[in-house]
Amino acid sequence: QSQAQEKSGRIVVYGDSNCLDNSHMTKDCFWMLDAILEYTSSGHMPSIFTRNKAEMPKPAVELPQRMKGNNLYRYSKVLENHMGNPQVRPLPPCPHLVWAPAN
């Protein structure tokens, strides 16, 4: 176990729990969990990560645009259509509870 320093610590973000459970498993990924735990507990970067290191893509200059004629707003609980210009729906008000008086 590594010794904690004032500015020490490691974080790993893991976003696919399906590879650890068996709901959609085509191939388990316990090897990755093992490598993540090795890194977070000791600071040693496992070779499986260094061998497969990929360059991050450069950010896109133009953001993607919705296809013309899409009707996403019809099915969305987030978007609504304003003369062909989809906008975010306002948040609904929070329900207010009315309590019965104590007898």
Mean pLDDT, residues 72-91: 76
User: Coil, strand, or helix at residue 82?
Assistant: strand
- Residue 88 has a CB neighbour count (10 Å cut-off) of 9
Q: What band does 82 get if pLDDT is binned at 50, 70 and 90?
A: low
Question: Residue 92: which pLDDT band, with cuts at 50, 70 and 90?
Answer: confident
Answer whether residue 1 shows pLDDT above 70: no
Residues 6+ apart with CB under 8 A from 72: 66, 79, 86
Q: Give the pLDDT score at 43.
A: 84
Q: pLDDT tens-digit profile of 4-63?
A: 666 677 888 887 767 777 666 667 788 888 999 998 888 888 998 888 777 777 777 777
pTM: 0.43
pLDDT at position 48: 86
Closest CA to 41 of 20, 12, 6: 12
Domain ranges of the chain: 17-51
Give the integer Cα–Cα distance in Å for 14 and 89.
31
